[in-house]
Structure 1
Amino acid sequence: MRSFQQLYYTSCEQGLSGSSGFQFNAVSEQVSAETRHRVEGLAGYEPPRSLIESDTPETLARCPVNLCHSPGGQGTTTLCVRYAGRDSARRFGNYFAHALHTEGEFTPDSGGLLAVELWNSPLWTARVADSTELPELSAPLPRGPLSPRAVRDFLRGRPDAGQLPALLAAVFTALADDGSVVVIDDTTDRIAHWFAAVSYLLPPPLARTLSFATYLLRPARSRLHLIGTVPEAHPDFGPDGEETYTVFDFSAGRFPEPAPVHDLVRLLTGIGVGSVRSVWSWTAEYADGRERDPGDWHAPVAAAAAAGGIELTGTDVRAVIDWLPGAGHLGTRRAAVAADIHHRHRDLDDGQLATLSAAAEAGGDSALHQELEGRLHRSRIRAYATGAENAAGPVPITHPAERERATALWQRLLDEATTTRVRVRLLLWALGARLTPPPEPLAAQSLDLARTLLGSSAAGPELRAETAQLVHTLPEFRAALATAVHEVLARRNGQEQLFAQFPASLLRESDLGERPRLLEHYWRAQAEREPARTVELLFRILAVRGLTSPDGELLRALWRQASPAWTYEEATEIARRLPPEQQADDAIGEWFDRAVKQEIHDEEALRSCLLLYEALAAPGRSAWLRPVTRECVATTLGLDRALHEAPEATALARAFRIPQADAWAAPRALKRHRLIPALLALPADHARLRTDIGEFGFSLTDGYLRALREAAADSGPVDEVLFSHVTGVVAMDSRCPLPQAHFELITALRHDIAGRWRPDDLNRLAGAVRPYDSALADAYLKCAERRLGAGKKLVRRITRRRTPDDPGREER
């Protein structure tokens, strides 16, 4: 039987030191110096400030009590430290520490006691001894009032009892990472109850390694696993404290951010403090002694709980099943665990059933093994048929007897199937298992299934994918689906979009054979799914119909958007493919008219538009167009030719000075995107430019002046084309009918040229503008002279040579 050494530590007049002050008042005979040093390190006590001057029994009773427990490799030390108020010299700050020390841990031979159960035990004293020797105590030690029932009642009355899982998870982490959990509550009695709840829920081997102190004024100075304190304490943990200390402040209602907890924690707190000791006693039969963290303990605890009739969650069941293959230490008990899981949980997947079956066989329970194998075989087929998650796929069955039984089971399940998806997956299973059902029933089943699927409007993605697989792998079903589609089209009008719906869209062109009606509807649906092929499909339909031109109904069926219209590219291809000598349907003119009138937003669209206009202008095709559309095409192409053929800028500008240039989309786009670059690329008659620019219109004039200013900003040589435009613009006077904003641009252009052009170009410009504005010409000449004079001075400074009276000076 284990024995416990005793030590009293306080401020007293008589003790082991031989003088007054803090010392060991009395100790057991075998206490070592190391033990005394350890107790001294644990016994320190600081009362809350409000209670530091306590000296009456009533106020001392209100002081926090520190039950401190420290297991370790050199033995286990437990102390009860109480505030004593004044010492013999009447000074406040005295405390009394009664300590127990034993070699090893609090093991079952210590009386089955957990250290926290010594809270308020009658063994503790706060009175100094008359002598310096204390007897050793023998196990079992007297318990205090804490028990599983008392802690259960405590938790029932706490509104914050829901924090227990998080507290237990934090203690698991502290044990694994050598961290600390701080519990703050109004009294140390409450703190002791929280510590007891954690101790009861922990695996007993881990609970015996848990170090704790129910009260420390400065918890940041301790590295025990569990530290209690009261609201008046000073829990300042420093910059690294958030990682080292986890704080549960039950007094203020402040707790760590919610975080996922291990399933073992959830299982233990679900069992509860009042019942968990029984589960721990059962768990001893399932553990192998190597368990350390929650993941190691989860499966043995869950297996013990299942044996005791406690309901497990799916996560608990999975933990047990995953643990069984490696639990060879269970021996025949492995089959009992498999039976507990099998009889209480009927929703297991095939992999879990296979694991239980192997465990039953390893445990010697052949009846359970055969039962599980039969259930596993049926489950695999049903799981696949119902699309269960992670269901195993079919494997080829080669044995004749097995094929016969599998075919019979498959036929029975097919007859019993109540949903379309189950029927589809059963057909897929037969294909994967290489079964050969009789042809006639298979064809009948396929046709019936195809008819049902055509009436289905709520097929999910799984059914769609599985039906697609069935269409591609089972010829009987593909033929049945084509037949079912033909029946629907022949029976009901208004089914033109059938091929755009599931599952008719899965059919291929080759599946429709020589059925023109099916082919046309198939192509219409293809046009909706693949808009890029619409023109191609239009002409395929015309070929099947034996026609050369489409009517309005066919065009609207193929281009079904809200405002049916061709793109420029589509209209161009159609114009080139329609025979020009044939008279087209009236709808052709309407659709080309809409295509021609489309707005043009960028250069790429403009290029496509011009290609269409060139196609429509070809002989024979212009007859398809309305007169106003023909005029638009001709005007646009004429303006485009002017952009390429005009010899002079003002002549090109006059070509665009027609009403149609702003009335139609294509001329507007040519004017917006191409006219200004083309103007600046042509030489300008500067005399005519001075008079014609007033007729350009505000937008064109504004863009032209800005582009000209940008082109003239270069300080390099000025070519003749740019020079002609600049001459005509800078020579304008106030009599020209231009807005003030444009005169400001011209003024800015004049200043830019004066500051950037080379003297030679300025001299040329002065000569060109002198007939129109001599003052401006003189100004440009002065600018040229100033810039030329500054240049000559710079050259003289650079080329100045050394003088005769300074022969050693280098040339600059």
Structure 2
Amino acid sequence: MSGFQQLYYTSCEHGLSGSSGFQFNAVSAQVSAETRHRVEGLAGYEPPRSLLESDAPELLARCPVNLCHTRDRQGGATTLCVRYVGRDSARRFGNYFAHALHSEGPPVEGAYARDGGGPLAIELWDSPVWTTQVAATTEIPELPAPLPRGPLSPRSAHAFLRAHPHAEQLPALLAAVFAALAEDGSVVVIDETTDRVAHWFAAVSYLLPPPLARTLTFATYLLRPTRSRLHLIGTVPEAHTGFGPDDEESYTVFDFRAGRFPDVVPTHHLIRLLTRIGVGSIRSLWSWTAEYTHGQERALGDWHAPVAAAAAAGGIELTDADVRAVIGWLPGAAHLGPRRAAVAAAIHHRHRDLDDDQLAALSAAAAAGGDAALHQELEGKLHQSRIRAYVTGVENAPGPVPLTHPAERQRATALWQRLLGEAATSRQRVRLLLWAVGARLTPPPELLTNMSLDLARALLGASDASRGLRAEVTQLVHTLPEFRAALATAVQEVLDERGGQEQLFAQFPAELLSERDLGRRTRLLEHYWVAQAEREPARTVDLLFQILEVRGEAAPDVELLRGLWRGPSPAWTHEEATEIARRLPSDQPVGGAVDEWFDRAVKQEVRGKDDLRACLILCETLSAPARFAWLRVVTQDCVQVTLQLDAALREATEATALARVFRISQIEAWAAPRALRRHRLVPAMLTLPADPARLRTEISAFDFSLADSYLRAVQRAAVTSSHVDEVLFSHVTGVIAINDARAALPQAHLEIVQTLRLHIAQHWPSELLDRLSRALRPYDTRLADAYQEYAEHRLGRMKKWGRKLSQRRSSDGPRPEEG
């Protein structure tokens, strides 16, 4: 910018209009019509009513002065100083003189840069550049830059604020101006004089970031503020404020004379930082801030971090909010270059209570800025913070990450060793070991072994381990061989020192050990296998023979069996007993314990068909001569009877004879024979022909359960079968022929027989009824005659139905396909 164009506007006799009145008295040669039009619109002035007829110099000096500053769309700036001059050449009151300066192009930037710059527009307040004297000619020269400043400065603004009774409103005023700049609003400032208004404007302008300060538009005095949309509008108590309901959103009013201010003005942390630094010191801050900005800052949030970073570099205390803003800004502040590390150092050295995320951000900034020493220092602090949080169980504390750099791993190991003495609980020591594993630290082997052994001893004595501790110890056992070996050693010590600890492997954390961990310690292995049997019952038989192999024994004793099969009435299942029988050496005696357990296995309750099948396999296995010799006599009898009944079920040729086989006294004594009768006898009988002569009389020898099952099975087959074969016919004949008088059946069974007789009579075809009649005649002639009548009646009905069908076909005529 080469200079400032000048314009004089007032009521005069000589000017650009060629006549007297309000007009441009004189302008610079390059002033455009557009600039004249803008200045003419801004130059209007209305004095307060009390000063309208001011004429004397001392009265005119009391009139408000309007220093007005605006910008056009191209970035050009227009600044006016409008003063009331009382009378015009015609001696009429209401004249004013507007001296305007206009500069083309974008605003001057870097006003507070080290190489200097032009004044802010507000610094032209009461500047010697302004005049109220009419020019003798219509053309006046441009003024060179920079323009002379007036009395306003950061120091004078600071002194003004210190003396003002409402200086505490500065943060709210600054926040309102920021909002006006962002949202194109207006802030109205009312004070006793326009000089005081100008001081408020100066304080705000100094505290605004310089690029924003140069976009600020203002007028230090307007009698009617609502007619303007400048950012800052000043006035005096006599002004016609007249703000209506529609103006509340557009105008924010600070009445410093009456002490009336907005109820709530949101105050950003940047504003608090700027006002805390103060107007008197702000010039230095903005010169520092220029080194931290990238030129694209617009909103409050954009400026907060670079301003706070500059403040930190200058030794100014930051709040937590300022620190958060700087740390959050650093990852994207690549434009800082090496200065990024300096910012990280300033924050780190003055703020020691940062959290891990903040330390990580500073560490990354130090690395990006090339400060290796700071990066290492921060990484060490971050590692220490993380490990403390992890060890002490802080919620959501991050776990260890592998350290690949040897120097980092060495430093972390040294820190880890220092923290050993701080671990107050077993869980903290477990977490320390987990951290060592996860971070791939390299503590001295002897230290790691001793720590693992001490921890294992402590854990074996703990009876109230929490779920979290259990999970972490499980992880430690699976990831740290030294701890796994220490745990096995601790278990061995307990077993050697105290008897009666056989169930130690069923307790935490000894249960986490595996066979591989116990090596050749046979005593430990036996206790371990006994505990494993309780956790994995399906492996119990295998574990039994592993123990026998380690012991060098052929058969187990009672204590071993009771240790492996626990419970109020310990016993083998049929499958377990079968497997044990097959795996025991058949050429050697097995001792009294085994015969007792086989006896219980053979005689135990049979709960279903699958159980029965397993029981029969067991009996078959034990029937081999060598194994049979192991059994007690009563067990041998049970095995023999069970196998005999099973063979009868497979070999019998007549149903009634098969039922007779099951009429033995041992049926009620032993579970297996009872199960054979309950699950297999009736199905087997129905596959064999029945002798009606025997069945009709011997059914009374059946017990109630067998008779009930059999009669219902015959009835169900007769009702549901689509084909009556010879076997079913024989059973139906025998049941129907039951001698009611001699059989002496219960009433429920007699009802089944009666129901079956009636169903046969009503549903069987005539030929089957005729055959049934002949089969019954040797036993019951009356019943045979009855079924013969049913057969003849049904046959007669069939013939009669056939004749009717033939007559119907004849009367209907030939069918189409027959014609």
Q: Residue 628 of structure 1 is aligned with which of 630, 634, 640?
A: 634
Q: 1:480 aligns with which of 476, 486, 499?
A: 486
Shift of 1:759: 2.1
Question: Which amino acid in the other structure matches residue 754 of structure 1?
Answer: A
Cα deviation, residue 475, structure 1? 3.5
* Amino acid corresponding to residue 446 of structure 1 in structure 2: S
* Secondary structure of the corresponding residue to residue 740 of structure 2: coil
Question: Quick one: structure 1 residues 804 and 499, their matched pair in 2 at CA, closer, same or farther if it must change by over 3 Å?
Answer: closer
Q: In the superposition, relative to structure 1, how do residues 424 and 731 fare at CA in structure 2: closer, same or farther (>3 Å)?
A: same
Gaps in structure 2 of 5+ consecutive residues = 1-181, 190-223, 230-247, 253-261, 275-295, 309-315
User: Residues 471 and 477 of structure 1 are in contact (CA less than 8 Å); yes or no, is this contact kept in structure 2?
Assistant: yes
1:109 aligns with 2:115: no
Retained in 2: the 8 A contact 1:527–1:558? yes
- Cα distance in 1 for residues equivalent to 2:491 and 2:185: 79
What corresponds to 1:759 in structure 2?
766
Deviations 1:308-337 (A, max 9, x none): 99999xxx9999988986799999999999
**Which of 781, 785, 788 is the matching residue for 1:778?**
785
Distance 1:791 1:345 in 2: 111
- Please state if 1:749 is matched with 2:756: yes
Matching residue within 734, 738, 742 for 2:740:
734
Question: Which amino acid in 2 is paired with 1:500?
Answer: A
- Bigger Cα displacement from structure 2, 781-790 vs 656-665: 781-790
Q: CA distance change for structure 1 residues 111 and 622 in 2, over 3 Å: closer, same or farther? A: farther
For residues 281-323 of structure 1, give each alpha carbon's deviation from its aligned partner in whole angstroms, at most 9, with x where no partner exists. Answer: 95999x99999xxxx99x99xx9xxx999999xxx99999889
User: In percent, how many aligned pairs have the same letter?
Assistant: 61
CA distance in 1, matches of 2:436, 2:554: 49
> Corresponding residue for 1:448?
454
Q: 1:769 aligns with which of 762, 773, 776?
A: 776
Q: d(CA) in 1 for partners of 2:448 and 2:632?
A: 60
Q: CA separation in 2, counterparts of 1:778 and 1:352?
A: 108
Change in Cα spacing, 1:678 to 1:339, as seen in structure 2 (3 Å) is farther
Residue of 413, 436, 440 corresponding to 2:442: 436
After TM superposition, list the pairs within 5 Å mapping 1:76-225 onto structure 2. Answer: 109=186
Change (3 A) 1:354 1:438: closer
Out of 676, 687, 692, the position equivalent to 1:670 is 676
2:595–2:630 CA contact under 8 A, matched in 1: yes
Amino acid at match of 1:488: V
1:321–1:629 CA distance, 2 compared to 1 (3 A): farther
Report deviation, 1:792: 3.9
State the distance in 2 between where 1:688 and 1:643 align: 19
> Residue 608 of structure 2 is aligned with which of 602, 611, 617?
602
The aligned residue for residue 256 of structure 2 is: none
From 516, 521, 530, the equivalent of 1:515 is 521
Give the match for residue 703 of structure 1: 709
AA aligned to 1:632 is C
Distance 1:756 1:320 in 2: 99
CA distance in 2, matches of 1:396, 1:743: 89
> Is 1:613 paired with 2:642?
no
1:357-376 to 2 correspondences below 5 Å: 373-376=379-382
In structure 1, which of residues 384, 389, 393 is the aligned counterpart of residue 400 of structure 2? 393
- What residue in structure 2 maps to residue 681 of structure 1? 687
Residue 525 of structure 1 corresponds to 531
TM (norm. structure 1) is 0.58
Query: How many residues are matched?
Result: 554
Deviates more, 1:725-734 or 1:781-790: 781-790
- The alpha-carbon distance between structure 1 residues 317 and 642, as it changes in their structure 2 partners (threshold 3 A), is farther
Distance in 1 (CA, whole Å) between partners of 2:415 and 2:641 is 78
Counterpart CA distance in 2 for 1:289 and 1:750 is 105
Q: Distance in 2 between matches of 1:318 and 1:762?
A: 103
CA contact (8 A) 2:330 2:340 kept: no
Paired letter, 1:639? L
In the alignment, is the contact (CA less than 8 A) between 2:410 and 2:442 conserved in 1?
no
- Match in the other structure for 1:694: 700
Deviation at 1:780, TM superposition (A): 2.0
Q: Which amino acid aligns with 2:753?
A: I
Cα distance change on mapping 1:416 and 1:791 into 2, 3 Å: same
Counterpart Cα distance in 1 of 2:594 and 2:329: 75
CA–CA distance in 1 between the matches of 2:552 and 2:812?
A: 108
Deviations 1:470-518 (A, max 9, x none): 4344443333332222222111111111222233233332332322212
Mean Cα displacement is larger for which, 742-751 or 541-550? 541-550
Which residue is 2:545 aligned to? 539
CA deviation map 1:393-420 (0-9, x unaligned): 2313333x43432332222222433233
Read off the aligned partner of 2:641 and give its amino acid letter: T
**Using a 3 Å threshold, how does the CA distance of structure 1 residues 362 and 622 change in structure 2: closer, same or farther?**
closer
Q: Which amino acid is the alignment partner of residue 599 of structure 1?
A: E
SS in structure 2 at match of 1:497: helix
Structure 1: distance between partners of 2:740 and 2:454: 90
Relative to structure 1, the CA distance from residue 352 to residue 748 in structure 2 (aligned partners, 3 Å threshold; closer, same or farther) is: farther
Q: Distance in 1 between matches of 2:365 and 2:539?
A: 61
How far is the alpha carbon of 1:360 from its aligned partner? 9.0
Judge conservation of contact 2:544–2:564 (CA < 8 Å) in 1: yes
- SS of the residue corresponding to residue 663 of structure 1 reads coil
Tell whether the 8 Å contact from 2:340 to 2:368 is kept in structure 1 after alignment.
no
2:567 is the alignment partner of 1:561? yes
Q: Supply the distance in 2 between the matched residues of 1:810 and 1:319 (Cα, whole angstroms).
A: 101
TM-score normalised to structure 2 length:
0.58
Could you say if the C-alpha distance between residues 656 and 111 of structure 1 is closer, same or farther in structure 2, counting changes exceeding 3 Å? farther
Contact 2:323–2:347 (Cα < 8 Å) also in 1:
no
Between the aligned partners of 1:663 and 1:385, the Cα distance in structure 2 is 65
Distance of 1:609 and 1:320 partners within structure 2: 80
Deviation of the 1:664 alpha carbon: 1.9
What RMSD in Å do the two structures reach over aligned CA positions? 5.0
- C-alpha deviation, 1:610, in angstroms: 1.3
Cross-structure match for 1:75 = none
- How far, CA to CA, are the matches of 2:720 and 2:455 in structure 1? 78
SS at match of 1:396: coil
Q: 1:642 to 1:345 in 2, by over 3 A?
A: farther
What corresponds to 1:457 in structure 2? 463
Where does residue 719 of structure 1 map in the other structure?
Answer: 725
Q: Give per-residue Cα distances to partners, 1:91-119, cap 9 Å, x unaligned.
A: xxxxxxxxxxxxxx99852769xxxxxxx
Cα drift, residue 392 of structure 1: 3.8
Please list the CA deviations of residues 681-731 of structure 1 after superposition, one character each: whole Å capped at 9, or x if unmatched.
Answer: 111110010110011021111111111011011463311111111111111
Aligned in 2, Cα 1:467/1:714: closer, same or farther, shift over 3 Å? closer
Instruction: Give the CA deviation at 1:618.
Output: 2.4
2:98 corresponds to: none
Alpha-carbon distance between aligned partners in 2 of 1:461 and 1:686, rounded to the nearest angstrom: 72
Residues 471 and 506 of structure 1 are in contact (CA less than 8 Å); yes or no, is this contact kept in structure 2?
yes
Identify if the C-alpha distance between structure 1 residues 472 and 363 changes in structure 2 by more than 3 Å, giving closer, same or farther.
closer
After superposition, give the CA deviation of every residue in 1:239-270 in whole Å (9 maximum; x if it has no partner).
xxxxxxxxxxxxxxxxxxxxxxxxxxxxxxxx
Matching residue's letter, 1:492:
R
1:779-812 per-residue CA deviation (whole Å, 9 max, x = no partner) reads 3233333433444455556566976996786669
User: 1:489 and 1:644 mapped to 2: Cα distance?
Assistant: 56
CA distance 1:760–1:280, change in 2 (3 Å): farther
User: Which residue number corresponds to residue 492 of structure 1?
Assistant: 498
Separation in structure 2 between the aligned mates of residue 395 and residue 712 of structure 1, nearest angstrom: 79
Aligned-partner Cα distance in 1 for 2:818–2:352: 104
